[in-house]
């Protein structure tokens, strides 16, 4: 039911002239994709610095909350650009992407990373006054920082794997793969 | 110097064969390359935006530059290692790709810039350096590393 709805939505997008126009435009599509990838340097780059500080691996003589607060804005600017360009990339190739197992895993990892970031900020704001100047954050926050790095590594990897057609629906896949990819049409 | 035999040797090497044969391993190499690029971007941007007084204005720029440089070295080492792995599998295609050579020139310039210009200068007390020089350094650095990343991305499209 869900897969059918998603596929119908993807087919509706696919039928729009702008969708195929974007996909078929060599420069526009490649610039959107390049911007999506290069923004990793802003978004993930800032996130790496924040997480490394929480893990006590960089700028340990600077309060952790200061690093997180000051780098939050450039990080969110990078995130916003990634979301916009990501939506455009989906809009350009909606049917294949909807039925890509890698895209689906990426989406789940993105939600998990979002929940982890929300919990991380809540825990940090609750307890920061007790450890802010410590070189290393408390265990729970270190775990959240490590989890954040692992989840984003997963997002980058699955994002990269979307380009490969190993498990595309036109191929003969196991029932599990076909189910996870939501294969209904080639 | 003729480099074609070296690229032929690279593609036939064990490293080249692994990348060619195992698509999954190659894709993991690509992902590690991207994550290293993100780490490099973070270290470069955090330093340069601090030098431009955009972020971390209440943290001494010497502290930011010193700490970021340590992770920059990790990132650039990982980028080069994963880059060699990726290039080995498609070495001949790279040899004839103009963007590959553009990226190599940009990367060599970027690395030379960091180790021979930027870092030696930033090791000094920043208050003794002309602010115009500091800001020019930051802008040049951002442009250089953006060129490295952009030419690298465009290899895949050409």
Closest-CA residue of chain B to A160 = B31
User: Which residues of B fall within a CB distance of 8 Å from A157?
Assistant: 27-28, 31
Asked if A160's CB is within 8 angstroms of B56's CB, the reply is no
Count of beta carbons in the 10 Å neighbourhood of residue A63: 17
Question: What percent of chain A stands above pLDDT 90?
Answer: 92
**The two three-digit tokens of residue A42, written as one number:** 């802003």
Report how far residue B44's alpha carbon sits from residue A148's, in angstroms, rounded to the nearest whole number.
Answer: 21
pLDDT score of B156: 83
- The band of B157, judged by pLDDT with boundaries at 50, 70 and 90, is confident
How many residue pairs bridge chain A and chain B with CB atoms within 8 Å of each other? 105
Interface test with A, best of B25, B26, B41, B57 (most A CBs within 10 A): B41
Count of beta carbons in the 10 Å neighbourhood of residue B19: 23
Closest-CA residue of chain B to A59 = B67
Across the range B37-55, mean pLDDT stands at: 97
Alpha helix segments (H runs only) across chain A: 2-14, 17-24, 26-38, 40-54, 64-92, 94-98, 101-131, 139-161, 175-181
Report how far residue B137's alpha carbon sits from residue B132's, in angstroms, rounded to the nearest whole number.
Answer: 8
Asked if B46's CB is within 8 angstroms of A49's CB, the reply is yes
Asked if B38's CB is within 8 angstroms of A48's CB, the reply is yes
pLDDT score of B135: 97
pLDDT score of A46: 97
Across the range B127-132, mean pLDDT stands at: 96
Asked if A66's CB is within 8 angstroms of B56's CB, the reply is yes
Q: Is A119 domain-assigned?
A: yes
Residue B1 has pLDDT above 80, yes or no: no
Q: Which residues contact A176 (CB under 8 A, 6 or more apart)?
A: none
Q: What is the pLDDT of chain A when averaged over all its residues?
A: 94
Residues of A with CB under 8 A from a CB of B: 26, 30, 33-34, 37-38, 40-49, 52, 58-59, 61-62, 66-67, 70-71, 73-74, 153, 156-157, 160-161, 164, 166
Residue B153 has pLDDT above 80, yes or no: yes
Asked if B37's CB is within 8 angstroms of A74's CB, the reply is no
To which residue do tokens 């119908």 refer? A8
Interface test with B, best of A35, A70, A79 (most B CBs within 10 A): A70
Containing structural domain, residue A48: 2-181
pLDDT score of A128: 86
- The band of A127, judged by pLDDT with boundaries at 50, 70 and 90, is confident
Asked if A49's CB is within 8 angstroms of B37's CB, the reply is no
Structure confidence by residue, pLDDT tens digits, A148-179: 999 999 999 999 999 999 999 999 999 999 99
Structure confidence by residue, pLDDT tens digits, A66-98: 999 999 999 999 999 999 999 999 999 999 999
ipTM, 2 dp: 0.92
Question: What percent of chain A stands above pLDDT 70?
Answer: 99
* Sequence spans of domains, chain B: 4-155
Asked if B42's CB is within 8 angstroms of A61's CB, the reply is no
Helix or strand (DSSP H, E) at B69: helix B61-89
Of chain B, the end-to-end C-alpha distance in Å amounts to 25
A164-168 long-range CB contacts below 8 Å, 24 or more apart? A164/A102, A164/B23, A164/B27, A166/B23, A167/A100, A167/A101, A167/A102, A168/A96, A168/A99, A168/A100
Q: What is the DSSP letter of A99?
A: T
Q: Is A32 domain-assigned?
A: yes
Torsion of CA A115, A167, B86, A92, to 10 degrees: -70
Structure confidence by residue, pLDDT tens digits, B78-117: 999 999 999 999 999 999 999 999 999 999 999 999 999 9
Q: What is the per-residue DSSP string for A102-126?
A: HHHHHHHHHHHHHHHHHHHHHHHHH
Structure confidence by residue, pLDDT tens digits, A21-48: 999 999 999 999 999 999 999 999 999 9
Asked if B42's CB is within 8 angstroms of A41's CB, the reply is yes
Q: Is A186 domain-assigned?
A: no
**Count of domains for chain A:** 1
> How deeply is B24 buried, as exposed, middle or buried, from its count of CB atoms within 10 A (0-12, 13-18, 19+)?
exposed
> How deeply is B88 buried, as exposed, middle or buried, from its count of CB atoms within 10 A (0-12, 13-18, 19+)?
buried
Residue A185 has pLDDT above 70, yes or no: no
**The two three-digit tokens of residue A178, written as one number:** 């076909």
pLDDT score of A184: 83
Angle subtended by helix axes B61-89 and B23-51, to nearest 10: 160
Report how far residue A80's alpha carbon sits from residue A101's, in angstroms, rounded to the nearest whole number.
Answer: 24
């Amino acid at each position: 039911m869900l897969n059918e709805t998603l596929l119908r939505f993807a087919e509706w997008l696919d039928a729009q002239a702008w969708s195929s126009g974007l996909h078929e435009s060599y420069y526009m599509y490649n610039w959107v994709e390049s911007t999506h990838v290069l923004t990793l340097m802003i978004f993930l780059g800032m996130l790496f610095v924040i997480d490394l500080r929480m893990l006590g691996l960089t700028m340990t003589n600077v309060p952790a909350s200061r690093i997180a607060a000051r780098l939050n804005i450039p990080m969110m600017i990078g995130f916003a650009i990634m979301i916009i360009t990501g939506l455009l990339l989906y809009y350009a190739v909606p049917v294949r992407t909807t039925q890509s197992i890698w895209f689906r895993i990426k989406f789940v990892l993105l939600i998990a990373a979002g929940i982890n970031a929300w919990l991380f900020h809540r825990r940090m704001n609750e307890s920061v006054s007790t450890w802010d100047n410590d070189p290393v954050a408390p265990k729970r926050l270190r775990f959240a920082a490590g989890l954040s790095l692992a989840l984003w590594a997963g997002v980058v990897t699955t994002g990269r794997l979307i380009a490969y057609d190993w498990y595309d629906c036109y191929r003969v896949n196991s029932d599990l793969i076909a189910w996870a990819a939501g294969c209904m049409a080639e | 110097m003729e480099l074609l035999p070296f690229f032929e040797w690279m593609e036939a090497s064990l490293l080249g064969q692994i990348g060619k044969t195992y698509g999954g391993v190659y894709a993991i190499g690509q992902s590690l390359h991207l994550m290293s690029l993100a780490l490099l971007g973070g270290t470069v941007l955090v330093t340069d935006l601090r030098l431009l007084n955009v972020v971390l204005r209440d943290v001494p720029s010497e502290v930011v530059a010193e700490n970021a440089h340590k992770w920059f070295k990790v990132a650039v080492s990982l980028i080069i290692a994963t880059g060699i792995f990726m290039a080995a599998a498609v070495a001949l295609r790279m040899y004839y790709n103009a963007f590959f050579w553009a990226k190599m020139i940009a990367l060599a310039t970027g690395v030379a810039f960091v180790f021979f210009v930027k870092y030696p200068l930033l090791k000094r007390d920043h208050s003794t350096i002309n602010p115009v020089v500091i800001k020019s350094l930051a802008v040049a650095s951002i442009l250089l590393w953006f060129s490295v990343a952009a030419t690298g991305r465009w290899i895949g499209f050409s």
